[in-house]
Structure 1
Amino acid sequence: MRTHTLVPSLLLLGALSLTAACSSGSDGSPDVAGAGGRHGSAATPSPVRSIDPSEIKGLRIVNDSSEQSSCPFATSYPDVPGAEAMTAAMKKDVEKLLTGFRSGRCEGGTDGARPLDLNISHQILVASGDVLGVRLTTQDRNAAGSGLSTKTYWYDGKAGAYRTALGLVAEGSRDAFLSALKDRLKGREGVDAAFLDDTFSDPASRAAVLDDMAFTADGGLRVAFDRGDVGVPAAGAVTVTLPGEEVTPWLSAFGKRAQRQTVTPSPSLDLGATHAPTQAVPTHTASGDDDTDCKKVRCVALTFDDGPAASETATLLTYLAQHKARATFFTLGQNVAAHPDVVRAEARAGNEIGNHSWNHPDLTKLTPEQIAYQLNRTSAAIKAATGKAPTLFRPPYGAVNAQVKAATTLSPVLWDVDTEDWKYPDAGTVAQTVIAKARRNSVVLMHDIHPTSVAAVPQILRTLTARGYHFVTVSHLRATL
């Protein structure tokens, strides 16, 4: 959502064409930031069975984003009760990547058209028994080469400990494991045997390159190397899969449990958490269709991006219901999959659900197939949650071009009032920005992932209602003008 170019959404009503259907379920292929489930240039199968994140009790998705014109980014990772040590490890890595992105490269990074973005997305690999596995995928378009990297994080509920990827392999079996990897890597195009020996012989280098390992559905161990990890960068990303019968004797006790929980998942996840917070989902129901005539009265469309967020969005729905206000939620698919009950509550209360992509990449940097994947997968998640497919989408960062428009039938929506709530985490500032800038038929940009933005809503509703404004959805605003 670019803040330096504000285009009223009502100017963007063109019909668009759909090019591809959603190709996966709620989890699907590994989520490269915007790459439609592809690691490098070749398609790779998902290493695990499809995981339904909505079944994880107390799950919270930690989201952050910025539309700063020189530094656009979006990050996410899961916070699961009982796995606090693993959450802390992911948080540390995400913050380190953000710091690097912001320092120097962020200000000057551009390809001549648009500032380059950072995207960190997540995929839950295993959530079963006492095992939790997560992959983070980073796309740093300011970095050298492809800027694409992946890393897996593991949690051992039995021991109450965070495990690295290499922790899946028993220490006494690592020489045999490394030897098997080298045998499969040597001879591959672009892999340097001498470089490979040096990398695997150094403990620090070995741990750095062996940071993405996960089990396949039949018990094999899939080891993924980022571009340049085990050979010349031109060779791209490299993947080795060791069959289950070969790798099982080398696994640690935890590795064997992770393998078993992947192949034959338990019905639930139990990491020993003393308390898994549950957020009450609002049950507000709108009474009939909205009969507001925006030709006769002053209307404004509040829009909220990047959610749903488990607690913040639920609180927001209560505020909207108290004032009989309706809004449009531009949701991220990965968050819809985690909290479909909240999305259902949004729709039940008369609000509109729009598409904001699966994991917030800059769509103008993607191929047509990748754009379609991002939008189609999200639309499928919204329809699964609400029974109704969306008709609107908001391109992340407000970045839209002819190629993006041609990849979907969804109608794009931008805004004319930007609260910059990502930049000013203060409820009073956010409220005053809306109150000062809102005009008849305005489309207001906010984010329901920020508690301070949600806290600003009651003051916005009170003040603008007193001034004669009615709060309607984007589609209602368009239809009645």
Structure 2
Amino acid sequence: MWLRYGPHVADTSLRRNLTVSAALGLLLVPGCHSAEQSLPYAEAIQFSPDTLEKLVTRTVAVQDDHSTVSYRYPILGESHPLTAEIRTGMAERQTAFLEELPDHGSPELVQDVELLAASEDVIGARTTALTSGVRGAGTETSTLWYDAGTGEVLPWTSLFRDEGSLEAAHLAVAQVLKDGYQLSVDQMPGLLGEIATRAEADPDSVSAVASEPAASPEAHPEENGEEAGTDGAAPTAGDADLTDPEQAWEAAERWAASPLADLAFSTAGGLAVRLDPSDVPSAGRVSEVLLPVEPEETEEVLSELGYHARSAAVGANSDPEDFPLDGTLTAEGSSLDCERLKCVALTFDDGPGEHTEELLDHLGEYDARATFYVMGSLVGEFPEIVERTHAEGHEMGNHTWKHDDLTTLSAEGVAEDLKRTDEAIQEVTGVAPPTLRPPYGAMNSTVSDATEHPIILWDVDTMDWQNRDTGAVAKHALDESKPGSVVLFHDIHKSTVDAIPDVLEGMHAEGFHFVTVSEIFGEDGLKPGQPHTDARVD
């Protein structure tokens, strides 16, 4: 649900110089909390991607005899870095879930994404993963921030200037627990308690935020569309500079247990920090505790990206009507990083044919992407099948016009054959095939020199062209495939198509993800005219 609010927007020029000594002074003063006083609460800004009319979302559910996995995510543009990072993170959790399934029950993994901010400058996303029926079942959350200026996907720590700022933010949250919930320092959970305890015992052990303002009263010109200046306190000596992406990611690992890892901006213009109710006994019977860090408390701790993110969350650009998308940003493109995942590329030669649509149905049940090496002479016979194959996210490859051995042709003959096939595929799909598979895997220097297509072979030959035994084909594929494998099938054989459900079920249960040839090799993994058999790293 979109959290709407009135014309009030946080006054970002408010300044409050938070020093550790000031924060400690507050922490050491016993809080006063009358029975009538309401508990402090923040209204977090977060909303479903479905509320944005121009934004395409994709929902997938795969159910088999052993488990159910489902996920939904926004498609922010073709191969958009944030979409790719969200999807890859979801895929990593799915693999871990499937690899640890119990022998009984009906385990389930449900993953979803909400947006925390959306503008031309910054997009924030929060992923939730809910597991049931497995050991350690529960809810896991993570947040990511996309900086359009740099094209980087960044962790929550990048919203802060340095680690001194992180400590100050934790002390601000600790103060809310002290004043609003009557928790003593030793009752505070996790890092909040550790930082507050250290600050109470030894003020010098906690880095202070600079006592001088970080900028002029017009502090953050970037919120008015201007480039931010370089005024402001430098990172504390020895601290990580969280404006550097690499250092921000390293800091996110060090601070992984922080409740700020699941922060959002509040409708008041400050921060909303989530805690588990079990960590706040006086919170009552609630599903989550959302602690407010007031806007003035954040003035000296946010980075430039943090100010952009706050503006995106509470400013005019966060209105759904103004979300910056157009019709060119609906194609998904590559969205999985196979260097981090168990990926496999299923490839099908010699079609399209009478069994191809049944094969597409099987693939759809597992949200499996595949690559089809089609013959140009058949594209015109089955244009609807080719169009459907492309529309469902599969990749089309060039398998020559009519399956000639390319090594028997001249350079001109090779070039003409491939060009003719490319044009036939592009006429139906609108996209030229990115790769070539020569019939029989036959190639020589003449073939290599005559094409700009990367040449795709295979490392797993199911021998389905020779052995029409459905069980044997499935077993061979399951036994021989490794992460990074390219598996050869032929969809002109009914026995092969009948084997695919068992192949998909078996590989899915092992945590594999089914991707196209282009996805498994990655953006820089394919070289024109060069043969490639697999993307395995073993």
TM-score (norm 1): 0.43
Larger-Rg structure: 2
Q: Which has the higher contact order (CA 8 A, sep 6+)?
A: 1
